[in-house]
Structure 1
Amino acid sequence: MRFEEQRRLIALLKEKRQAVISHAVTKGLDPAAPMKPSGIDWLGDIPAHWEAVQVRRVFAGFEQGWSPDCHAKPAAYGEWGVLKTGCVNGGIFRDTENKTLPEETEPCVRLEVMPGDLVMSRASGSPQLIGSMALVQNTQPKLMLSDKLFRILLQDAQEPAFIAWLFGSNPIREQIVLAISGAEGMANNLPQSKIKEILVPLVPQDEQQQIAAYLDAQTRRMDTLTAEAERAITLLQERRSALISAAVTGKIDVRDTIPNSTEAA
């Protein structure tokens, strides 16, 4: 495929990925399930046995981090560091997005992020990234939450993996954008009070587990295809650069590929 075809494929895969996530977390996995109006424009119809509730019914609390002065470089393994807001961009936790805590600064041990934590950004230079949430699968030790990150504590019978997928869906993202714009004097910030008002489906725990497992499998396939397309683009770009370089330096003879002006006449 050419560059344009590969780029179109990547765009389609990203669009499909988002649609699959949004449908699964708001409509469920059973196409034959009876539906009912949620009463909420963002959600539309939901399975009849689900409820539409405010996030305050799902979240048990928030733990906010701390942002001391840090070195710009990432912390080496075993060093203390402070996570940056970019650690949750795209719904994927990246422990490399951190800054080293100076040796003379005492760490706040209770703010260390652990596998299984649900981390959410409350502020960012880019409004599109505010409210990004990711489940911590693996992480190097001694990384702390910054003051622009929340650790989300859930009510009983709530699955962190499902909630992470839910907050990456279009219906929830639309509400987050409105919550940011409605927070007067709090530009590029998402306060706890606004998060608690977001409307979400209340889903039985066993279905949450099934949906999370389904989305793990489906998105893994699409992410693999996207990575392959990105590698193909890189390879095509490298080949193109190599050909141009060879032609410019005379390593290949391109005279026979250029139409003769006399013949053309």
Structure 2
Amino acid sequence: MCIAAWAWQSHPAHHLLLLFNRDEYHSRPTRPAGWWAAAEADGKEILGGRDELGGGTWLGCTRDGKLAFLTNVREPSPRVGAKSRGELPVRFLQGNQCPLEYANELAKEANQYNGFNLVLADVHSGNMAYISNRPEGDSVVQKVLPGFHVLSNAAIDCPWPKALRLGQSFNRFAATHDGAEISLQHMVEKLMMDTVKADRSMVPDTGVDPDWEYQLSSIFIDTKKGEARYGTRSMAALAVKLNGEVTFYERYLESSLWKENHIQFVLEVAR
């Protein structure tokens, strides 16, 4: 289901600071973050994890300064046979459209997918856009303004308890770490491993079973649905400095062991 918090064009040393937890069934095959390209990409690589069933991603970026990340919208009865939402970030990252152009084009076909929230950014142009296909039949497209934002499984900046909790802790962390050197590993450990659940009276009513909603109300999730284990499979942090240096940190679960990725690169100069 996933949750993200980010500072966009509002930190004294960074264009972007992003935190992202990916929640999924533990049985779903997944590749950890690395550089990869789909066959039709003509060599343009994406840095991110990869869903081995659908072939897409939930979070990715490119050397030319593009970024995309995705969360599902919580709904009781997802449509069987809908297109894979993981392809939506990939199409943007491999394409040449700006964030708002892509979002407006996607709105024309958004009903082919189950509920999603998608954030798109171009660091070089300083543009960020958000699109959601819920409520059904009425896609929302908007520019994301500089500042601090949170996204879970409702609309952007929706005040769900877990979103409020993460937003407040992220703001406090950023305020006390305003220099260029920020430990992304420390950010992840301090903010994204939070297992505190919401008070049951504050759990949102999304149409799913209230007890299941309660189990999903923490930032870090580890639970079961029937016999299937479900929860946070990876935690990522991405930092883009004003000088173009990019650091990607991932802590991911593989065969019941937590492992780490540290990847750094420099943005290509805008053409």
Fold match, TM over 0.5? no
TM range (shorter): under 0.3
TM-score if structure 2 supplies the norm length? Answer: 0.23
Greater strand proportion: 2
Larger radius of gyration, structure 1 or 2? 1
